[in-house]
Every structure is written in structure tokens, then in C-alpha cells.
Chains A and B, each alone.
Chain A
Amino acid sequence: MKKLAFLTCSLLAMLAACSSDYAPSGPIGGESGTELAERQVIHIGNGTDPQTLDPHRAQGVPESNIGRSLFEGLVAEAPNGDLIPGVAESWEISEDGKTYTFRLRANARWSNGDPVTAGDFVYGMRRSVDPKTLSVYSFILAPIENANAIIAGDLPPEELGVAAIDDRTLEIRLENPTPYFLGLLTHSASYAVHPPSVEAHGDAFTRPGNLVSNGAYQLAEWVVQSHVKLVKNPYYWDADSVTIEEAYFHATEDVAAELKRFRAGELDMTNTIPKSQLGWIRENMPDRLVIAPYLGSYYYGLNTTKPPLDSPALRRALSLAIDRDIITKQITASGELSAYSWIPPTIANYGGGVEMPEASWTQAEREAEARRLYAQAGYSAENPLRLEILYNTHDDHRRIAVAIASMWRNVLGVEATLVNQEWKVYLDTRNQKKTQVFRAGWIGDYNDPYTFAEIAHSKSELNDFGYDNPEYDRLLALAAAETDLEKRAEILKQAERRLLDDMPLIPLYFYVTAKMVQPWVQGYEANIMDHFRVQDLKILKH
């Protein structure tokens, strides 16, 4: 027995006393601070397992992280998120904003040495919108002429408004001037695929050995649930400035295990961090923690299609009664911003965005107004509002729901019950509008206010709150036809003000991304889209 006690004690002592996380043996980057490591290999935590490497079928973040290093679109993104030329070295936009003419690089090559031609992009985009491809993200190409009709199966893919004038000139015609169109061309739905290998291998064209890609890297290995290994593509047009030779994207579903692999020095970057360990990380390795604003809104959707939440006054009362700072400072606590608008103010093409009038009020003022509106809607202590809050099973969502239910009870006397459902059940309930209040989040697909604005359109597939305001729809259509960016921003602001007045959704906070990056990873910049390409990174000596 004594032995056992001794063993237990020494084990505990060891756990407590040591903090021998992986540490570099010498100064990072050598004497000069910029010396590169001999082996240029990077290990990246990539979250859940990628579901496909077919750029046209990809739908999740893990797939697009790999896709950006494997493929290159006409347009690419710099580390800070700015748009830069990709396969296209230059482009011209017609005066009406509806015709884009791209000049492709003469030296762009596929990983088997074939030149990348305008025809490959025509082939790729047609494949992307072809209903037979079964893409769930083909709507990204919707601004292109005839795309919607092709996606719906009413026109053949050959009718897509994309044409190869010659091998190096590509013309794309749009339905409407779309100021964010260049940004869409960084999305995997717009990538070219190598026609001969798709034709030869069919669905298996994404396997190692079959996949021919045009990015800085090519596929070397793909072990489901373990990793995807990329190696440098020697034919890439800018191969001379690509430093990292091999990149591993590891499946890291378990965030706590991911952090441990990072601490052991096995990962150079993580996908995210376990929220519960944020305090420990801040204390022990703050220099490796990168937190940055993210293009996403966390919100509560209100089912406006049936009583009691069909009353705008009541919806506004519910919004006013929430103290957002308590949620962002005490619950999420990673630097999230309290949201007083639906569209993140940092988004491009929006001139800083709009705010609810109550953004500048004190919480006491908000609560007073909330009580007034609540009484006006006919509720009181004797006749309280009864609500059900639906959220998908997750600890963070539960904590926020508990906080909001108690704010509503304390400020207004609302009796809210919490219901949690597993993700797919929750989606089903939400889509069928068998809800009253549901938690939701939206991450923008591209850096433009429209990716948020469109959600509240009466015909949107994401409009699970049943908002139907013809004036809002009209403003969105107006914005779509406007070529002047400033005027367009004004129209969209008008639409958002309308939305915030009607309050079919209660914005709560704007997301941040949090990840761990080793000090020897050079060239990583956090950006609002949380995008990065391996080719922009380097491994310093360590």
C-alpha cells in the first residue's frame, strides 16, 4: 500500500512541478533571427477530417484550408486577406461592371507540367454548376450569367457565361454588377480542375496519384482520419518563392488533444483552442496565442411567423433586455465584440456599417425601454411571456442560453425554458420552423456585406426566422444592380437598419478565431476570413 501511495504522490508531484513543454534548443531563427530551418516541413492542426478534396464538392473549413494550398484560383489572397493576382496576372472590368476579362499567366502549370489554360477554368466552372457534380456550394457562382438556371437544371452547363477567348484569355459575364465578384474567385467553387484527369478517373480523381493540381502544392498522401500530406509542386509558376517543402494537415477533432500535440511540439499551428483552457494558455504561453476578429455573427433567431414573436415591439424588447457585455466578457471571454448590428462592422465594402440606436445607451436605459415595450406588447408579471430557447448541444451555447434566459427573467419576467438538440435534429427543427427562439451563427462566405444581408431575404435558404419584408427584398435587389460602391453600401445600410428595426434576429456578438502558432512559424497573419496559404509561411531554425 505504501508503495502505491508513493507512486501516486510522485506522479502528482511530477505533473505539478514540471512544465517542460517543447522548447527550442537555441534562439529562434539562429543568430540572425531569420535563419531558416533545414527541414521545411509544417504540421497544421486542421480540425475535423476533410470530407472531400474535390474543390467543387468541398463545403467545410477543413477542406478549404487544404484547397488553398493545393489549388490556385484566378484570384488569390495575401496573408492579410487582400486580394492578389492568382492564376490571372491581370484583369479588366467593363464599364457596366458585368464583364470581366482575365489574362492568365503564361507560366501557370498543373502539377504534371501541363499549362493551365482559360479552357481549364471554363471546364472547372461548368463542372462546378453542373447539377451532376452534386455541389452544395455552387451558389457561389450564382452571379455568373445563367448560373442559377444551370444549377436548377433548366439550362445545360455549356450556357454558363464563361468563355475562353484564347488559351490565356478568359471572359466571364455576370447577371448583375457584383462588386465582390473577385473575392468569389478565391473560393474553391471557382477553381479549375485538370480536365484529362477528371475525365480519366471520375470520382476518384482526388486520390493521391490521380490528383493533378495547380497550386503551390500537390497531394502526396491522404489517410482518412489522420492526415493529408502535401508536397511542393515543382511546376507551380512561383515555385521559387515557396519555402516549405512538405505540409501535413492533421485531423484534430479533439481540441484538448490538439493543444497537447502543440505543446509537445508536434504541431506548428492549431486549428483552434479548447475554450476551457484559455486562462491557462494566457498565463503560460501568451506569445503563441493568436486571437483575431472573424467574419461571423452569433445570433438568436426569432420565429416571426407565429405569435407571440410576430410582434416587432416584443422582439425589440427581448433584444434590449440582453446585456451583451456579460456574454462577451464573462462567458465567451476570448475578445469577442458585443454586437449591435447584424453585419460585422469590419467587413469590406461597407464603410464601417450601421448600429442599433441603443448601441450608445447604458444598459439601464436599454432595460427601461425593454420593460416599456414588453408592457406595450401586453405582458406583465401576472401574464408573463413564455418562450422556448432552442440550441444545438454544446456547452458554450448552453451557458449563453442560461444567461439570456435569466436576463429575460430578471428584466422582463419572461419564463424561458431551454431545449437542446443534437445538431441534425436541431437543423431539422429550425428548418421546419417548429421554433420560437433558436441560437445560430453565421460565418460569411466572402468579405462583403451581401453574404450577411442575403440571409434575411424572404427567399433565402437561411431565413429560418421567416422574415418577409418586401421593402428589404427591394433594397437588396437595388444594391445588386448598383455599380457605385459607396451608393451600394448606403443602400445595404438602409436595408440593415430596416432589419434591425424589425429585429427578426437578435445579434449577440461577433466571432473571433483563436489558434496557437509556434514562434518559429514565419509569415502567418491572422485575417478576418481566417484564410492562409502554406506557401506564404516559412519555418525558422529552432
Chain B
Amino acid sequence: MLRYSLRRLVSAIPTLFVLIAVAFFMMRAAPGGPFDLERSLPPEIEANLRAAYRLDDPLWLQFARYLGGILRGDFGPSFQYRDFTVTELIATGFPVSLRLGASAILLALVIGVTAGSIAALKQNRVTDHVVMTVSMTGISIPNFVMAPILILVFAIHLRWLPAGGWGDGALRNMVLPVIALALPQIAYIARLTRGSMIEVLRSNFIRTAKAQGLSTTAILLKHALKPALLPVVSYLGPATAAVITGSVVIEQIFGVPGIGRFFVQGALNRDYTLVMGVVVFYGMLIIAFNFLVDLAYAWLDPKVKYS
């Protein structure tokens, strides 16, 4: 197990390297630069800025320096947020995204798995149809439609919750963004759970359990749930990484100060270092979560052994 983990970690290094290299050179290849303004800068000022951000060195040298910086945990200064470094921006934004995303994933997991299991048990009956229709709707309605509807209903008309703002992460500020973020995930997880649960419920060992006279609840919780969760778990890895690194749409609509918006704003402003910082950070999270998923597999499925 330990050897497997070490091997996985080592093999992550080339993956990250390729990711960094591709992102770095693609970002630089994009037309326009951080100092392109409507009023072009006087040449001497642009030269000063380029020198200050060391954009005049050959690209390979800049790349090497960037890699060196990452090893020291230094993502460089932001071009767009001139009073902050990228490391500081990620350090203040990520806890917010993490809190929001983790709550959404947890909510999605609890509701999604429950609803999916119920639907599987009541396969092809009314409950099943309702769960599946609702979840299909959840998947098809995009965030940018759902979020404003939630605001309209719960903030403007019912006046129960704030329409936006983070308020240092107060519960009332979190409810709507968490729901908006969780809804599509609930839907996915419910459908995945239902599918695999139906399959598991038809398998021989469940039939044996039934023959032994175990109650439905006992069968479901003790025997069926673990194997049925396998596809959910493999979905959960990348989904969690995506959700906790922030959703551009949700953050923008609710005014949540997470790191999701840095992606888009950074790219639009050609804030090279900010985009790179978020990409590298995101890459590391994805790798970490996929690794965790594989470990979870070994726990869930006795057939999977790592050595």
C-alpha cells in the first residue's frame, strides 16, 4: 500500500510538469498581453513594467524561473491585483471555495445517494419516476439559470436569505450558493447511485442475503451500498476537485470571494501568474483527489488490492 502510494506520488510529477508547461506556453501564445490597454502605454513605461515582471527574458528562462518559484511555493506577483502575490490570493480565496464546495458536495452526497437508492428500490414506480425526472431537470438547468431563480424566490420575494455577498461565510449567506452548487451534483449522484444500485440488487450475493431472510434495510446498508457506491466514488474525485476550486458562475452571481473567478478574470486580463497559479493548484488537487478515490476503491471493493 505504501509503495503503491509512493509510486503514485512520483508518477504525478511528470503529469504536473506537462500541465504546467502546456498552460504556461499556451497562455503566452495568446494574443495581447497584461499591459495592453486602450491607451497604449508610453514605450518607456511599458519597458519598465516588462522589466519589473521580467517579461523580457527568453521564454525558456522565464519558464525555468517559474518552475523554481513553484518549488519554493512562490507563484509570483499578480499582474491584475497589483497589491497582492498569487500565493496570497489563493491563500485567501481557497478557504472560501473549499468551505462552499465541501458543503455542496456533502449535501449532494447525502441527498443524491439517498434519493438514488430509494429510486432503485422502487424501480419503475412513481417514486422512481419522480426522482429521475427531478434529477434530469437538475442536470439540464444550468447554474446561471438556477442561481438567479433561487435569488428571486428566496431573497427578493420571500426575503428569507440575502441575495448575495459572503458575510465572512455566515450560514445565511452560504445557503443559496451551496444549494445552487449542489443541485446538479445531487442529480448526477442520484442517477449514478440508482443505476449501480439496480445492478447490485440483481446480483447473486444480494439474492443470497434475501434468501437468508434479511430485512431490506439491512441488505441495503450492509451489503448493497458499498459496492453500489463505486461509480459514485470515481465520479466524486474530479467532481470534488472541480467544486472546491470554485465555480465562476456561482461566485460571480452570489459575490462569493473564492478562487473560481480568478480563472476567468485572470485569463481575460492576461494575468499570466494568476492563471498559472490557479491551474497548478487545481492540477495538484485533481491528482490528489484521484489518488484518494483509488484508495477508497480498495476499501469499498475487496477485489481491488494495491501492492
- List residues of chain A with CB within 8 A of the CB of B75: none
Tell me how far the C-beta of B306 lies from the nearest C-beta in chain A, rounded to whole angstroms.
41
- List residues of chain B with CB within 8 A of the CB of A153: 44, 48
Contact status B42-A461, CB under 8 Å: yes
- Find A4's partner among B133, B252, B268 (CB 8 Å cutoff): B133
- List residues of chain B with CB within 8 A of the CB of A139: 42
| Residue from the set A223, A226, A263 with the largest chain B CB neighbour count within 10 Å | A226
- Number of residues of chain B lying within 8 A (CB) of chain A: 57
- Find A461's partner among B33, B41, B82, B134 (CB 8 Å cutoff): B41
Contact status B83-A206, CB under 8 Å: yes
Contact status A224-B81, CB under 8 Å: yes
Cα A188 to Cα B151 with chains together (Å): 37
Cα A134 to Cα B47 with chains together (Å): 10
In the complex, whether B23 has a CB less than 8 A from a CB of chain A is: no
In the complex, whether B148 has a CB less than 8 A from a CB of chain A is: yes
Per-residue 0/1 for B226-251: is the Cβ within 8 Å of any A Cβ (1 yes, 0 no)?
Answer: 00000000000000000000000001
In the complex, whether B270 has a CB less than 8 A from a CB of chain A is: yes
Contact status A4-B48, CB under 8 Å: no
Chain B residue with minimal CB distance to A421? B31
Contact status B157-A261, CB under 8 Å: no
Size band of the interface chain A makes with B: 35 or more
In the complex, whether B159 has a CB less than 8 A from a CB of chain A is: yes
Contact status B83-A223, CB under 8 Å: no
A15-B152, A15-B157 known; A51 vs B38 contact (CB < 8 Å) = no
Per-residue 0/1 for B257-284: is the Cβ within 8 Å of any A Cβ (1 yes, 0 no)?
Answer: 1100100010011100000000000000
- List residues of chain B with CB within 8 A of the CB of A431: 36, 40
Which of B66-74, B162-170, B186-194, B201-209 interfaces with chain A?
Answer: B162-170
In the complex, whether B184 has a CB less than 8 A from a CB of chain A is: no
Contact status B153-A260, CB under 8 Å: no
In the complex, whether A381 has a CB less than 8 A from a CB of chain B is: no
Contact status B151-A257, CB under 8 Å: yes
Contact status B130-A14, CB under 8 Å: no
In the complex, whether A203 has a CB less than 8 A from a CB of chain B is: yes
Contact status B163-A266, CB under 8 Å: yes
Tell me how far the C-beta of B197 lies from the nearest C-beta in chain A, rounded to whole angstroms.
22
Contact status A424-B42, CB under 8 Å: no
Cα A153 to Cα B45 with chains together (Å): 9
In the complex, whether B98 has a CB less than 8 A from a CB of chain A is: no
Cα A84 to Cα B34 with chains together (Å): 36
Contact status A207-B83, CB under 8 Å: yes
Contact status B255-A250, CB under 8 Å: yes
Cα A151 to Cα B92 with chains together (Å): 35
- Find A264's partner among B40, B80, B126, B159 (CB 8 Å cutoff): B159
Contact status A223-B92, CB under 8 Å: yes
Chain A residues 150 to 169 lying within 8 A of chain B, measured CB to CB, are 151-153
Cα A152 to Cα B38 with chains together (Å): 20
Chain A residue with minimal CB distance to B126? A1
Tell me how far the C-beta of A202 lies from the nearest C-beta in chain B, rounded to whole angstroms.
11
Contact status A264-B32, CB under 8 Å: no
Chain B residue with minimal CB distance to A221? B168
Per-residue 0/1 for B155-178: is the Cβ within 8 Å of any A Cβ (1 yes, 0 no)?
Answer: 111010011111000000000000
Contact status B45-A138, CB under 8 Å: yes
Contact status B163-A264, CB under 8 Å: yes
- Find B253's partner among A49, A257, A422 (CB 8 Å cutoff): A257
- List residues of chain A with CB within 8 A of the CB of B148: 256-257, 260
Cα A132 to Cα B51 with chains together (Å): 10
Tell me how far the C-beta of B157 lies from the nearest C-beta in chain A, rounded to whole angstroms.
4
In the complex, whether A462 has a CB less than 8 A from a CB of chain B is: yes
Chain A residue with minimal CB distance to B252? A254
Chain B residue with minimal CB distance to A426? B32
Contact status A226-B151, CB under 8 Å: no
Chain B residue with minimal CB distance to A462? B39
Contact status B258-A225, CB under 8 Å: yes
In the complex, whether B89 has a CB less than 8 A from a CB of chain A is: yes
In the complex, whether B211 has a CB less than 8 A from a CB of chain A is: no
A226-B166, A253-B252, A257-B148 known; A151 vs B32 contact (CB < 8 Å) = no
In the complex, whether A247 has a CB less than 8 A from a CB of chain B is: no
Cα A227 to Cα B126 with chains together (Å): 48
Contact status B93-A260, CB under 8 Å: no
Contact status A136-B41, CB under 8 Å: yes
Contact status A422-B268, CB under 8 Å: yes
| Residue from the set A138, A203, A461 with the largest chain B CB neighbour count within 10 Å | A461
Chain A residues 1 to 43 lying within 8 A of chain B, measured CB to CB, are 1, 3-4, 11, 14-15, 18, 20-22
Per-residue 0/1 for A235-246: is the Cβ within 8 Å of any B Cβ (1 yes, 0 no)?
Answer: 000000000000
Cα A263 to Cα B252 with chains together (Å): 17
Tell me how far the C-beta of A282 lies from the nearest C-beta in chain B, rounded to whole angstroms.
18
A152-B42, A226-B165, A226-B166 known; A264 vs B255 contact (CB < 8 Å) = no
In the complex, whether B52 has a CB less than 8 A from a CB of chain A is: yes
A57-B82, A225-B251 known; A424 vs B159 contact (CB < 8 Å) = no
Tell me how far the C-beta of B140 lies from the nearest C-beta in chain A, rounded to whole angstroms.
14
Tell me how far the C-beta of B26 lies from the nearest C-beta in chain A, rounded to whole angstroms.
14
Contact status A224-B82, CB under 8 Å: no
Contact status A257-B82, CB under 8 Å: no
Tell me how far the C-beta of A465 lies from the nearest C-beta in chain B, rounded to whole angstroms.
13
Contact status A257-B156, CB under 8 Å: no
Cα A38 to Cα B149 with chains together (Å): 33
- List residues of chain B with CB within 8 A of the CB of A204: 83
Residues of B within 8 A of A (CB): 30-33, 35-42, 44-45, 48-49, 52, 80-84, 89, 92-93, 126, 129-130, 133-134, 148-149, 151-153, 155-157, 159, 162-166, 251-258, 261, 265, 268-270
Contacts beyond the supplied A153-B44, A264-B155: 16 A-B pairs with Cβ under 8 Å: A14-B157, A20-B157, A20-B159, A49-B81, A53-B83, A59-B37, A134-B82, A225-B93, A257-B252, A261-B165, A266-B165, A424-B31, A424-B269, A427-B36, A462-B38, A462-B40
The 7 closest A-B pairs by CB, nearest first: A424-B32, A226-B257, A264-B163, A225-B257, A428-B32, A52-B82, A461-B40
**19 A-B interface contacts by CB (under 8 A):** A51-B81, A134-B82, A136-B41, A151-B44, A203-B83, A224-B89, A225-B257, A252-B255, A253-B261, A257-B148, A260-B152, A260-B156, A264-B155, A264-B162, A266-B162, A424-B269, A431-B40, A462-B38, A462-B40
